[in-house]
Structure 1
């Protein structure tokens, strides 16, 4: 019997970045990595960064230029913090612009 080495099968491209739902994108990306049997932080980090729009890459340029051992986990945390905060700020500004008058908030 021959000794066969197997490489992980990749099941299509990784999911595209979803700005409005960074948590959903990270979950999908983690599932992609699990299915493709990718566990190395460096590979996960490089893949995630390659999927980010250029303006987000610029926001994390220091992290990208000098990645830590846990770079993927740190990037995910930073994305969640930045984008969830931005979404909340946008919602607050929309609500602040609305005048209730005689209406009650719902």
Structure 2
């Protein structure tokens, strides 16, 4: 893997960007793996037949980095909800019941 060159001060970052619909996560105890997915249409001989998730990026994190990411995202979401109100989805609702 090549080393990314550092941008000049004030220059935009140059890195791949991904549209992500959902995430999968798994852990071995020493590593956390996040799989970023996008949704793609499924086409068969009969025509359009639903959607499927396909991976666009796989991130390997230490458990410590995963916790730091979780804390960072928790803060970002709290700031968003303070401005715009609570975020809702079936996944969020189910997790908040626990």
Query: TM over 0.5, yes or no?
Result: no
Task: Give 1 or 2: higher helix fraction.
Answer: 1
Higher relative contact order (CA 8 A, sep 6+): 1
Task: Give 1 or 2: higher strand fraction.
Answer: 2
TM-score (norm 1): 0.29
TM-score (norm 2): 0.31
